[in-house]
Amino acid sequence: MEKSFFARNPSVLIFIGCLALFTIGVTAMSEAMGTDVISTSFLKTLGKTLCLCLVAIAMDLIWGFAGILSLGHMAFFGLGGYMVGMWLMYARTEMIVVASMANAEIPPTAQEVVDAIGTQIFGVVGSSDFPVIWAFADSLFQQLLLVVAVPGLLALVFGWLAFRSRVTGVYLSILTQAMTLALALYLFQNDSGLRGNNGLSGLQNLPGADAIPQAQISLWFFWASAFALGLGYLLAAWVVSGKFGSVIRGIRDDEARVRFLGYSVEGYKLFVFTLTAVIAAIAGALYYPQAGIINPAEIAPIASIYLAVWVAIGGRGRLYGAVIGAAFVSLLSTWFTGGQAPSIPLGFYTINWVDWWQVLLGISFVLVTLFAPKGIGGLVDHLTGRVSPERYGADLGPDSGSLQEQEAEK
Amino acid sequence: MTRLIMAALAALMLCVSMAAAQDSPIQALLQEHRVLIEESSRKTIQPAIDALRDSGFPEAQAVLEKWQAKDLWQREADKLFFFVEKVDSKNYRLLDIATGEAAGEFPKKELNQLKPNSGVRSLIGAALVQFQLMAKDPAKRIEALDAIQRDPAAEHLVALSGAIAKETDPDIRDRKERLVRLLTISFGETEEARIAAIESFKGDLGVDVRGALNPLVATSREVAVGTLPEGVNIAAVLKPGSTAFSEAEAYDLLVSKDLVLPRITAADRRAALQENITDARVGGVPVAQLNTEEARERAYQALAEAGLVRAAATQAQIAEALAAHVFFEKYAEPSAAITEAANDTLSSINTQVGFNQFIDLTLDAMSLASIYFLAAIGLAITFGVMGVINMAHGEFIMMGAYTGYVVQQVIPDYTVSIIVALPLAFAVTFAAGVAMERLVIRWLYNRPLETLLATFGISIALQQLAKNIFGTQARPLTSPAWLDGALVLNDVVSISYIRIAIFVLALIFLGVFLFIMRRTRLGLEVRAVTQNPRMAASMGINPDRINMLTFGLGSGIAGIAGVAIGLYAKVTSELGSDYIVQSFMTVVVGGVGNIWGTLLGASMIGFLQKGIEWMNPSNTLAAQTYMIIFIIIFIQFRPRGIIALKGRAAGD
């Protein structure tokens, strides 16, 4: 008899357990519960980190399991944020506008309300008309659908074009990077309809929740992020555990062989690409209400590359690796760039971490790639005694990956 | 006795000086027109000015200038004209206008200052132009021409025509003749002369011509009741409701001519309603119901009927008014023949301008292409030949640019510093490239995706290092003076020398690359290692060494490109990352592993970007977006680039 899903994947239960403990612990220490150990701003940072862990899982699925180094997933993340941000901004501005117009002697017409909202939102880019893409912004449900639909559709179309023409490897990476750049440049324009480089702001204020303190709202978002992360982890683990997982790992290791075995490689790739794009978008939709502001700089290619960095440092090809990497690096990054890390005086020069953190990150990234390709997650292998053979020296055979000199000597 | 003699002498001298003053021909001329000059009226003064202007006396210009500047004085005793010099607050020394000799000191009250009014002064100014046009100094003549061109007037036309015959300098003569034609367009006496002048400018690219012609074809929108009026130079009949002329515009025109009742805007109506609220009702409509436009219109009409607000036109009235009027565009210029000739000439000019703009755009595109080519040629070696993705390539470009900046801090002479900076930038980035290849890349040859990530790590470290060393603000890399300015072919086509220099540099690089790859031992070995490293190794080539040198070469070229790019863009730590995606695009679109492909790719991207910018000139961001989308689609059809390698060299 086949063992159950959880029995085959013990790490899932361990992860869910850890996440639940973490969530309960943080909740107990949060400001909203009156204990005040964790400030609201740090609670937000933790909530955002959970969202980053979720997008890292998506990245791990596409890169660590399917072998596609996408440098565009933060674009889907940002798009998700934009979609939810549109509703947040519209609904909140509507409330403000309606409240201010209620004092007028003559009740406003529906058109006047919409015009006033438009002036409020787009005044900053010198416009007052609602662009077409805001057509659904007045409905939370429709806009939440768009959170999934817009990035999903973009990923579907882009992936279909790219995989169909058999663009693989580094070419695909560059192509996804180009897509991200194109999107970011487009959003930077003032007439893109999404407020140009001002982006959408004030997203931390939920419409109609002015009476509820931020501490409480942050906690809700923290719970939602934790729940989404747990669900996302479960989904990803389920996807990679069965036959489907075997096929996409096969594609990663030798695409041509899988194709000759009769699998529709393009279909599998497209599915994983779109699925991960949707996961990224959901993560983004949870992230930006906690961050409060989104602008096109968040979509710049560099963000997607950082995502790859997190996954690589955490250890790709294992889901908990991605989570560890994203949490570890992003929290460390917040610590260093926030000016909390102590400076190191060298006598002739003082190392100020705000300036040198990027250098440290870059170098440690090179070191991880060179010496610890398994990343932090590789430590788990050491603990469990799963050590891969030490392979040094030149290849003996004609292909890479064949038996190597020092292995043969043993 | 002595006193007597002195007095006699003084009297004699006065007589002599008076006689001399009276004798000079210019004084005689002034005396002849004395009455007119004293009267100093714009209507009558012209003969006096003309006489002075046409007198041919060398002093005439000075007299006119002084007169215009209110520096010409008249002695009351004998009505003679003098220049003066101030002695003290009460006394002035008179100077003879012909000789400039002193003619005694007089108290102010015995003198009269001529104070021509502004009308007279401008007439004098016009007369003076002729003197300037004939001045000995060519610079003065050009100055006068510039002045006329800035502020053309009918009276200049005569002066200018008169000044052509005696002109010796052929360039200035050409300019004068051109200016005469230009002035004739606006101020010619007969219609034929004006039309001839207009037609003589067919195909002329000068901005001044368009400046002179455009007012002729300027139109204004007019309206008439019933039928089109006779005797008006009509450009076009307008139909209300067409795209160029909406009904609202038509009605606004009628309103602006006070022909109909004005409409009322939604905001005004709202304000009017607000003022007339009585017992929570407006015009019989409850206030709470006023949340639709229809209800508001109803309420407003009720108010208008009660006479509380001014009446506003209803939709039916608007339609009726529009039907009752004809709308047309009228030329300000009354003569149809002239507007027709002007339109003809303008359209021929526009064709020429369009053609020249196309040439200009082509030149722009070529220079952009050469910049992309320069940025990408290093990548064409590391990525194209070796298959190594170097994300730090952009940072090598940045390092080259900063090297140029540092060299300029040490060597102040810009020409020398550029000559030093180019090889130094090559050396610095070559060393950096070799170090990177030895330390990082050679361990990752079989793992291209990890090379991408590792070099990216180096890229962010280098970028931050540059920020720490040089700060975040942009550093200038100044080009030598001989690269300043632009090569101007005509008023439309021009290209800056620095872009020409970059273009030439790109060509040189192409040549150097081809020479190294095809004619040197290194190139042979590089090609061998690229095609089959193991076979090359068994032939006695050391692949490690070749890889190192190839990578160093590609990086070194990036450094030189950095100096070139830094010359026209500001040097910042983000300089490289601005180019990295485009550079990869260039290599991928062109076809990996082929320098001609890179050249084609750079040209395609350069031309494409300029083309899109031309279609949507306000928005370079959109141009880049559309270009990238185009490239993504292009890759669909030629996944291996424009020039795809075939056979074994193609690799996977």
Taking residues A123-142, what's their average pLDDT?
83
Q: What is the ipTM of this complex?
A: 0.82
- Find, in chain B, the residue whose alpha carbon is nearest to that of A308: B453
Q: Most B CBs within 10 Å: which of A189, A197, A366, as the mutation test of the B interface?
A: A366
Of B446, B460, B463, the CB nearest to A400: B446
For residue B219, what is the DSSP state? E
What CA–CA distance (Å, rounded) separates B226 from B235? 18
Do the Cβ atoms of A294 and A88 come closer than 8 Å? no
Q: Most A CBs within 10 Å: which of B390, B447, B464, B631, as the mutation test of the A interface?
A: B464
* A245 occurs within a structural domain: yes
Of B456, B459, B629, the CB nearest to A182: B629
What CA–CA distance (Å, rounded) separates B262 from B253? 10
pLDDT of residue B651: 47
Is residue A323 scored above 90 in pLDDT? yes
Q: Which residues of A touch B452 (CB under 8 A)?
A: 69, 170, 173
- Digit-coded pLDDT (tens) for B279-321: 777 777 788 777 787 788 788 888 888 777 777 777 777 788 8
Half-sphere exposure of B385 (CA within 13 A, CB side): 29
Token duo for residue B412: 């102040």
For residue B217, what is the DSSP state? G
Can you name the residues that pair with B75 across neighbouring β-strands? B111
Pick the closest to residue B338 from B210, B186, B205 (CA basis). B186
- Digit-coded pLDDT (tens) for A369-392: 888 888 888 888 878 777 666 666
Residue B578 or residue A364, greater confidence: A364
- Which one-letter amino acid corresponds to residue A189? Q
- Find, in chain B, the residue whose alpha carbon is nearest to that of A183: B625
Domains and CATH numbers, chain B: 2-120 (no CATH), 134-217 (no CATH), 219-335 (no CATH), 353-650 (1.10.3470)
Locate tokens 């659908």: which residue?
A145
- Which one-letter amino acid corresponds to residue A330? S
Do the Cβ atoms of B474 and B570 come closer than 8 Å? yes
- Which one-letter amino acid corresponds to residue B156? H
Do the Cβ atoms of B84 and B73 come closer than 8 Å? yes
pLDDT of residue A158: 92
DSSP secondary structure string for all residues of A379-399: HHHHHHT--PPP--S-BSSSS
CA distance B216 to chain A (A): 36
* A342 occurs within a structural domain: no
pLDDT of residue A322: 92
Can you name the residues that pair with B571 across neighbouring β-strands? B475
Q: Most B CBs within 10 Å: which of A310, A358, A368, A402, as the mutation test of the B interface?
A: A358
Of A161, A186, A188, the CB nearest to B636: A161
> Mean pLDDT per segment of 10 residues, for chain B of length 652 residues?
61 51 73 80 80 76 80 81 80 80 79 81 77 78 79 75 77 82 80 83 80 81 80 79 79 80 76 78 78 80 78 75 82 82 87 88 89 86 79 92 92 89 94 93 81 87 91 85 82 84 89 89 88 86 89 91 86 83 83 83 89 76 81 79 63 46
Residue B102 or residue A80, greater confidence: A80
What CA–CA distance (Å, rounded) separates A345 from A360? 16
* A9 occurs within a structural domain: yes
DSSP E strands in A159-270: the ranges are 200-201
What CA–CA distance (Å, rounded) separates B527 from B512? 16
CA distance A104 to chain B (A): 9
B624 and A108 in contact by Cβ < 8 A?
no
Q: Which residues of A touch B273 (CB under 8 A)?
A: 106
- Cα distance from N-terminal residue to C-terminal residue, chain B: 128
Is residue A397 scored above 50 in pLDDT? yes
What CA–CA distance (Å, rounded) separates B164 from A386? 99
For residue B245, what is the DSSP state? B
Token duo for residue A100: 């201010």
- Find, in chain A, the residue whose alpha carbon is nearest to that of B621: A185
Q: Most A CBs within 10 Å: which of B287, B289, B453, B640, as the mutation test of the A interface?
A: B453
* A40 occurs within a structural domain: yes
Pick from A58-62, A69-73, B252-256: least confident: B252-256
Locate tokens 């009476």: which residue?
A211
B631 and A178 in contact by Cβ < 8 A?
yes
pLDDT of residue B617: 65
Of B291, B444, B619, the CB nearest to A107: B291
pLDDT of residue A399: 59
What CA–CA distance (Å, rounded) separates A16 from A23? 10
Q: Most B CBs within 10 Å: which of A59, A69, A106, as the mutation test of the B interface?
A: A106
* A293 occurs within a structural domain: yes
pLDDT of residue B8: 60
pLDDT of residue B650: 47
CA distance A220 to chain B (A): 36
pLDDT of residue B652: 44
Pick the closest to residue A174 from A162, A165, A185, A190 (CA basis). A162
- Digit-coded pLDDT (tens) for A203-232: 888 887 778 888 888 899 999 999 999 999
Of A170, A181, A305, the CB nearest to B389: A170
pLDDT of residue A237: 92
* A402 occurs within a structural domain: no
Q: Which residues of A touch B585 (CB under 8 A)?
A: 174, 178
Do the Cβ atoms of A148 and A281 come closer than 8 Å? yes
A179 and B619 in contact by Cβ < 8 A?
no
3-state secondary structure of B359: helix
Pick the closest to residue B470 from B566, B597, B331, B332 (CA basis). B566
Do the Cβ atoms of B400 and B562 come closer than 8 Å? yes
* A23 occurs within a structural domain: yes
Q: Beta-carbon neighbour count of residue B340 at 10 Å?
A: 15
Pick the closest to residue A79 from A238, A174, A169, A194 (CA basis). A194
A189 and B453 in contact by Cβ < 8 A?
no
Do the Cβ atoms of B321 and B259 come closer than 8 Å? yes
- Digit-coded pLDDT (tens) for A43-57: 999 999 999 999 999
What CA–CA distance (Å, rounded) separates B613 from B626? 10
Do the Cβ atoms of A89 and A208 come closer than 8 Å? no
Of B293, B452, B461, the CB nearest to A173: B452
Do the Cβ atoms of A72 and A306 come closer than 8 Å? no
* A334 occurs within a structural domain: no
Task: Look at chain A and report how many structural domains it folds into.
Answer: 1
Q: Which residues of B touch A366 (CB under 8 A)?
A: 440, 454, 457-458, 461
B274 and A182 in contact by Cβ < 8 A?
no
Pick the closest to residue B571 from B496, B467, B420 (CA basis). B467
DSSP secondary structure string for all residues of B141-173: HHHHHHHHHHS--HHHHHHHHHHHTT---HHHH
Pick the closest to residue B180 from B190, B188, B171, B168 (CA basis). B188
What CA–CA distance (Å, rounded) separates A60 from A70? 10
Its domain, for residue A31, covers: 5-300
B624 and A111 in contact by Cβ < 8 A?
no
A107 and B270 in contact by Cβ < 8 A?
no
**CA B573 to each of CA A365, B425, B466, B479: distance values in angstroms, whole numbers, following the listed order:** 20, 16, 6, 19
